Amino acid sequence: MSRNSKEFNQKADRFTKEYEVQKNELEQCLQSKINDDINFVCQRQKSEYLKGIALIFCKKEYDAGVACQKRAGDQWASACFKENVAFGQCTDTVLKKMYVYNLEHNKKTQTPINKRGRGEPL
């Protein structure tokens, strides 16, 4: 029995299929830069992975934030605070639930990372 809802697990199944490449690229990038500051590495890979979360799990919050930011122009940071917080809370919740989902489904990167930090067979 899963700790996540059936609906969440269905979305997670879809997400893991549709965004497998992005997940693997992010994991490989992070593992190859293990000693670097996580806030400054793998930006492209993180963006692609989070875009998948936005489109599959947090579409309502994502769309509200995008619409608000378009309306607000240069004032988007203050004008869209509520929308940005809602999106952040949604993604945070999804990431926590994805952790549980991955544990329950024993999801691992298919290609191990070699000592040179490349996704090649060892």
89, part of any domain: yes
Cβ(24)–Cβ(119) below 8 Å? yes
| Number of residues written out for the chain | 122
45, part of any domain: yes
Sequence letter at residue 42:
C
117, part of any domain: no
Low-confidence winner among 26-35, 55-64, 104-113 (lowest mean pLDDT): 104-113
Give the rounded percent of residues in the chain with a pLDDT score beyond 70. 87
pTM for this prediction:
0.76
**Dihedrals phi, psi of 36, to nearest 5 degrees:** -90, 165
Low-confidence winner among 37-46, 63-72, 87-96 (lowest mean pLDDT): 37-46
How far is residue 13 CA from its own chain's centroid?
14
96, part of any domain: yes
76, part of any domain: yes
51, part of any domain: yes
Q: Which of 33, 99, 88, 34 is nearest to 62 (CA)?
A: 88
As to burial, measured by CB atoms within 10 angstroms (0-12 exposed, 13-18 middle, 19+ buried), residue 87 is: buried
Is the pLDDT score of 118 beyond 80? no
3-class SS letters over the chain? CCCCCHHHHHHHHHHHHHCHHHHHHHHHHHHHCCCCCCCCCCHHHHHHHHHHHHHHCCHHHHHHHHHHHHHHHHHHHHHCHHHHHHHHHHHHHHHHHHHHHHHHHCCCCCCCCCCCCCCCCC
75, part of any domain: yes
Number of domains in the chain: 1
121, part of any domain: no
Domain span at residue 55 reads 6-105
